[in-house]
Amino acid sequence: MSSFFLTTAIDFVNSRPHLGTAYEKITADVIARYHRLKGDDTWFLMGNDEHSQNVFRRAQEQGKAPLAYCDEMEQVFREVWRGLDISFNDFIRTTDQKRHFPGVQTLVQACLDNGDVYEGTYEGPYCVSCEEFKPEKDLVDGLCPIHKTKPEWIKERNWFFRLSKYQRPLLAYYEEHPSFIEPEVRRNEVLRLVEDGLVDLSISRAGQSWGIPLPNDPQSVVYVWFDALTNYASAVGYGWDDEQFARRWPANLHIVGKDITRFHCVIWPALLMSAGLPLPGQVFGHGWVFFKGERMSKTMGNIVDPLDAAKRFGPDPLRLYLTKEVVYGADGDFTWERFEEKYNADLANNLGNLVNRVAAMTERYRQGRLVAGGGGSLATLAADSASAYRRAMDGLALHEGVAAAYRLISAANEYIAETQPWSLARDPAHADRLSGVLHDAAEAVRIAAVLLLPVMPSSAAEILRRMGETTAPGDLRFDTATAWRASGERGILNAGALWPRLEDKGAITVSETTPGTPSPSSASSAAPAPSAASAPSASAPAGTTPHPVAPAALEQIAIDDFMKVQLKVARILEASNVPKSKKLVQLKVDVGEAEPRTILAGIAESYQPEQLVGRTIVVVANLKPAKLMGIESNGMVLAASPEGGGALLLNAEPAVPGTRVR
RNA sequence: GCCGGAGUAGCUCAGCCGGUUAGAGCGAGCGUCUCAUAAGCGCUAGGUCGGCGGUUCGAGUCCGCCCUCCGGCACCA
């Protein structure tokens, strides 16, 4: 029996999971369940990333101790995962002192022992505004590229990892293991990044308490990315259970978002190399699921709560949608309209109705008992589907795997139309033929259900039950379960609609939060949800989950602090795009001074220069000048910057330019 | 600007190493059966395969240039 160890990224706990996060866990869960079905000794790890300053701040805002806050959030996350039927074997938290702390400290020590960690008495340029050391190569004319200020020459004690040393070993590794990074887009990106050269990385933060102390310098804590990456190893025993670690490590697959593939493809393997540990088999960078074509974000107010989508019929329709409709590795889109459309087509009309008609005819014509007959054309098709499915799933083409299962479902519907069991039933002479036809249809449905088991665990299990499968779903093994059964007797259960058809648009739409888009009533004419037996997880109390309350207490400043910032009314006299810049617009503004000022603003993606001339805006007048793209900017315009990008200028009532704003 | 990816029927996408009338699913229209959740099945949809040029007996399929979109980097006082 081969073993398979897969992980997902661990999540920051500063807000509850949204559909995008759920997407990652659902697809990983499909993979995990598929491997269990194949009989692999599967270990599926998930967890929470808690040693982040964001998390620390979030806890403070809510007036809670960080750890207590993380405890609460763990429950929130676990509840969502439960509601989605995520079958993780283990859940690691980075605040786990028994498992994670020793893992991290052992890894630091191993890198230290190998001479790859050195103390950063390295006199480095440190940008106070960034609160970050600036690598020499990032400096522009000796200034911080972001703040255009002269970095301070600081000797703050800091520990660095010799990432630069691993450029060649990493490139060699990618060369030897072409599938280490998938899909190819991500691989290209990472190759390019590493070829450009790697800079040593600080792995410690001094003067912080929220984190894991360095073994060699307990006054400092391990930097959060080092801390987080180590979870994959610490969870399976690294640093505290050598036997388990030897058995499970290395991971076969890290499932991560495309935004963090680089951490997993560069830093993580370099750390492992340094520590002399085997490298994971593959890092897969999945895409994002957008909502109506837009990135989900809190500021956009278009977050979809995964449990909302699982509310009416359990998690399976959502799980099917996300695996079947999104090409795995590419970005996808979720809309309620599309979700309902696919629900009706794939579940109500196709699979659900198929199960129903087979069961109903068997009950009516054969009192629910079927004896295996001759076997027909469907058997070959079932075998083809199963092997196509397997090929797709092994290559992580989840969408193709599901498509293969659906080809079998369609074939079964066609088969019934061709053979017309209802006609056969009218003539007693065709009794044997009728038995054979019903059996073959049921057998095809059974095999399709086996293929769908990883995607829709509870629904597929229910279908198997109705098709007379006597083996418990968890005990089924791919090869034997997908083999055509040409002998034996089985009882078929006719138990009503699995997925009632949705007649009204918006029937399962719930609590859409997009501003300006009133959510349609969730009332509908559709029949009630299926029985608890068919979808045990459907009973998750989705609607009752307490949402963390919005922020209240931000860090407060004194009025004096605010007065240091000189805000002034300004009128835009000229505006032009900055050559070679995607975001910058060059402005000439009247701030009530003798000469107009030149100010650069990163709003080119939101405004055409023509739209800007004549506007009255607010600028920061006493900001140190900075040079951007070779042009000096003397101030800063105020604009709202939504998380998803773009900028919205703050317009002022036309006051005299130069008027103080406060 | 540099690097990478993509642009094929209303929508989501297949089309490998170039070769008969460019495909699938969904949606839509029409027809049909009646076991079934007004579901199923069949037929239809006639799309300059982003644009221009080139290689070739022959190009979505190779080459060059251009346009658009997405992502990464730069940049976002």
pLDDT at A140: 53
Residue nearest to nucleotide B14 (CA to C1'): A400
How many angstroms separate the CA of A412 from the C1' of B29?
26
pLDDT at A621: 80
What gap in Å lies between CA A22 and CA A541, rounded to an integer? Answer: 17
Kindly state which CATH superfamily the domain A3-295 is placed in.
HUPs (3.40.50.620)
Look at residue A637 and tell me whether its pLDDT is greater than 90: no
How confident is the model over A163-189, as pLDDT tens digits?
999 999 999 998 888 889 888 778 888
Is the C-beta of residue A137 closer than 7 Å to nucleic acid chain B? no
pLDDT at A231: 97
What amino acid is encoded at A53 in this protein? Q
Q: Which nucleotide is nearest to A635 (CA to C1')?
A: B77
What gap in Å lies between CA A495 and CA A355, rounded to an integer? Answer: 10
A260 by Cβ neighbours in 10 Å (0-12 / 13-18 / 19+) ranks as: middle
How confident is the model over A253-280, as pLDDT tens digits?
999 988 888 889 999 999 999 999 999 9
pLDDT at A508: 55
Q: Which nucleotide is nearest to A603 (CA to C1')?
A: B76
Look at residue A421 and tell me whether its pLDDT is greater than 80: yes
Comparison of pLDDT for A262 and A630, the residue scoring more: A262
Looking at every residue in chain A, the average pLDDT score rounds to: 82
pLDDT at A329: 85
Contact A491, A518 (CB under 8 A): no
Is the C-beta of residue A662 closer than 7 Å to nucleic acid chain B? no
- Band the pLDDT of A522: cuts 50, 70, 90: very low
Is the C-beta of residue A349 closer than 7 Å to nucleic acid chain B? yes
Angle at A604 between CA A599 and CA A609, to 5 degrees: 75
How confident is the model over A367-388, as pLDDT tens digits?
999 887 666 788 988 998 998 8
Of these ranges, A210-224, A300-314, A366-380, the one predicted with the greatest mean pLDDT is A210-224
pLDDT at A10: 94
Four-point Cα dihedral A478, A483, A487, A488, nearest 10:
20
Look at residue A544 and tell me whether its pLDDT is greater than 50: no
Look at residue A459 and tell me whether its pLDDT is greater than 90: yes
- Band the pLDDT of A630: cuts 50, 70, 90: low
Pick the CATH number of A353-491 from 1.10.730.10, 1.10.1740.10, 3.40.50.10090, 3.40.50.980: 1.10.730.10
Mean pLDDT of A474-493: 92
Q: Which nucleotide is nearest to A581 (CA to C1')?
A: B75
> 């087979």: which residue's tokens?
A358
Contact A636, A625 (CB under 8 A): no
Four-point Cα dihedral A544, A501, A340, A536, nearest 10:
40
pLDDT at A556: 55
Each domain of chain A, given as residue ranges in start order, spans 3-295, 353-491, 519-661
pLDDT at A311: 82
pLDDT at A477: 97
How many angstroms separate the CA of A565 from the C1' of B25?
59
pLDDT at A610: 75
Q: Which of residues 30-69 of A touch strand B (CB under 7 A)?
A: none
A382's tokens:
């079932």
pLDDT at A453: 96
What's A446-462 look like in SS3?
HHHHHHHCCCCHHHHHH
Comparison of pLDDT for A141 and A535, the residue scoring more: A141
pLDDT at A277: 97
Beta bridge partners of residue A618, listed in sequence order: A569
Q: Which of residues 408-427 of A touch strand B (CB under 7 A)?
A: 410, 413-414, 416-418, 420-423
Look at residue A137 and tell me whether its pLDDT is greater than 70: no
Q: Which nucleotide is nearest to A633 (CA to C1')?
A: B77
How many angstroms separate the CA of A80 from the C1' of B46?
48
pLDDT at A142: 60
* Three-state secondary-structure class, residue A390: helix
Residue nearest to nucleotide B2 (CA to C1'): A580
Contact A457, A473 (CB under 8 A): yes
Region class of A365: left (phi > 0), else alpha (psi between -120 and 50), else beta: alpha
What amino acid is encoded at A47 in this protein? G
What is the predicted ipTM?
0.88
pLDDT at A549: 25
Q: With pLDDT > 70 as the criterion, what percentage of chain A qualifies?
A: 81
Q: Taking each helix axis from N to C terminus, what angle separates A19-38 and A316-324, rounded to the nearest 10 degrees?
A: 90
Residue nearest to nucleotide B74 (CA to C1'): A581
Comparison of pLDDT for A5 and A259, the residue scoring more: A5
Beta bridge partners of residue A649, listed in sequence order: A639
Residue A331 phi/psi, 5-degree rounding, is: -75, 155
How many angstroms separate the CA of A501 from the C1' of B34?
19
Is the C-beta of residue A345 closer than 7 Å to nucleic acid chain B? yes
Look at residue A46 and tell me whether its pLDDT is greater than 80: yes
Contact A32, A42 (CB under 8 A): yes
Is the C-beta of residue A627 closer than 7 Å to nucleic acid chain B? no
For strand B, give the nucleotides within 7 A of a protein CB: 1, 3-5, 12-14, 25-27, 33-42, 70-77
- Please choose, from the candidates A349, A373, A493, the residue with its C-alpha nearest in 3D space to the C-alpha of residue A424: A373
- Please choose, from the candidates A24, A90, A95, A91, the residue with its C-alpha nearest in 3D space to the C-alpha of residue A59: A95
- Band the pLDDT of A614: cuts 50, 70, 90: confident
Is the C-beta of residue A356 closer than 7 Å to nucleic acid chain B? yes
Is the C-beta of residue A294 closer than 7 Å to nucleic acid chain B? no
Comparison of pLDDT for A579 and A522, the residue scoring more: A579
How confident is the model over A143-158, as pLDDT tens digits?
655 555 666 666 667 8
- The terminus-to-terminus CA distance of chain A in angstroms comes to 70
Is the C-beta of residue A258 closer than 7 Å to nucleic acid chain B? yes
Is the C-beta of residue A583 closer than 7 Å to nucleic acid chain B? yes
Look at residue A27 and tell me whether its pLDDT is greater than 80: yes
Of these ranges, A9-13, A268-272, A652-656, the one predicted with the greatest mean pLDDT is A268-272
How many angstroms separate the CA of A643 from the C1' of B71?
17
Comparison of pLDDT for A491 and A601, the residue scoring more: A491
Q: Which of residues 359-378 of A touch strand B (CB under 7 A)?
A: 360-361, 364
How many angstroms separate the CA of A285 from the C1' of B72?
13
**Within 10 Å of residue A340's Cβ, how many Cβ atoms?**
19
Mean pLDDT check: name the lowest of A41-45, A62-66, A177-181: A177-181
pLDDT at A132: 55
A3-295 and A353-491 share one fold: no
Mean pLDDT check: name the lowest of A235-244, A265-274, A326-335: A326-335
pLDDT at A532: 27
Contact A166, A273 (CB under 8 A): yes
Look at residue A513 and tell me whether its pLDDT is greater than 50: no
Q: Are strands A90-93 and A41-49 parallel, antiparallel or unpaired?
A: parallel
pLDDT at A584: 80
Angle at A256 between CA A453 and CA A538, to 5 degrees: 35
Look at residue A514 and tell me whether its pLDDT is greater than 50: no
Beta bridge partners of residue A632, listed in sequence order: A627
pLDDT at A603: 78
pLDDT at A553: 32
Look at residue A400 and tell me whether its pLDDT is greater than 90: no
Look at residue A69 and tell me whether its pLDDT is greater than 90: yes
Kindly state which CATH superfamily the domain A519-661 is placed in.
Nucleic acid-binding proteins (2.40.50.140)
